[in-house]
Amino acid sequence: MKTDELIAVLAAATKLQAPVARMMALPLFGTVSLSVVSFAFFWGVRSDLLAALGSMAALKTLVPLVLGALAAALALALAHPTRVANGPASALGIVIALSALAFLLALGREGLAGLPGALSTPELLTCLLSIPALAAPLLGVALWGLSAGASLRPWLTGAMAGLAAGGLAAALYSLYCNMDMALFVLPAYGMAIGSVMIAGALSGARLLKW
């Protein structure tokens, strides 16, 4: 086929796909609802939730939520060539840096020897399994939606989608989890969210190619 003929075909195809964000909105809302309902069903909130949310432990919910929202904005921008999202990108960097700093401070206070003690609890496995389980459907829908975009860096877009799904799942899980020590929360949540992020990067590299 000649290129001029191809142009004639393309020009006749005036049906335009919906914007990525609009296309994703409803399925994503459905999946979030599904995650919330299955969380309520299989996990349930901790008994002292109100007291916890009034204390520093509220950060356990807030920080992953902010992290997830920023990563979601970034992933969506990355699916659109030339769209810049410097605001969310730097905010994301700051939140991650502050979390790392908080971890180092907690480590400095309790000493390196406190870390194995804080992490040697069956809660660690629950955390490392629950967050990815809650995140998986979200990540799946996010990658499906983003594949309608045009990501120039598929693995990075996938990683951001993973961070968004992992952050949201962690925020949800934190309502169940009654471990509030910084030396547990920061490394455990970090590892759990990180694993979803890695899964997102690996699958994004394949699924977001075009």
Partner 1 sequence: MRAANRGDAVAYRRVLTAITPVLRKVVRARGAGLGLEGCEDVLQDVLLAIHSKRHTWAEDAPLRPWLYAIARHKVIDAFRARGRRVELSIDDFAEGLAAEAGPDPTEGRDMEKVLGQLDPRAAEIVRGFGLHGETTAETAARLDMSEGAVRVALHRALKSIAKLRERMIE
Binding site for partner 1 (CB under 8 A): 1-20, 79-83, 148-150, 152, 209-210
Please spell the DSSP secondary structure of 111-155, one letter per residue: -TTHHHHHH-SHHHHHHHHHHHHHHHHHHHHHHHHHTTS--SSHH
Q: For residue 179, which phi and psi values (nearest 5 degrees)?
A: -95, 115
In angstroms, the CA 100 to CA 134 distance is 24
Closest CB 21 distance from partner 1, rounded Å: 11
Closest CB 87 distance from partner 1, rounded Å: 17
Q: Which is nearer to partner 1, 81 or 116 (CB)?
A: 81
- 19 by DSSP, 3-state: which? coil
In angstroms, the CA 168 to CA 138 distance is 9
Closest CB 26 distance from partner 1, rounded Å: 17
Closest CB 144 distance from partner 1, rounded Å: 15
Q: Which is nearer to partner 1, 154 or 166 (CB)?
A: 154
Closest CB 210 distance from partner 1, rounded Å: 7
Tokens of 24: 């994703």
Q: Which is nearer to partner 1, 19 or 87 (CB)?
A: 19
For 201, the enclosing helix (H) or strand (E) is helix 182-207
Q: Which is nearer to partner 1, 68 or 154 (CB)?
A: 154
Q: Which is nearer to partner 1, 35 or 147 (CB)?
A: 147
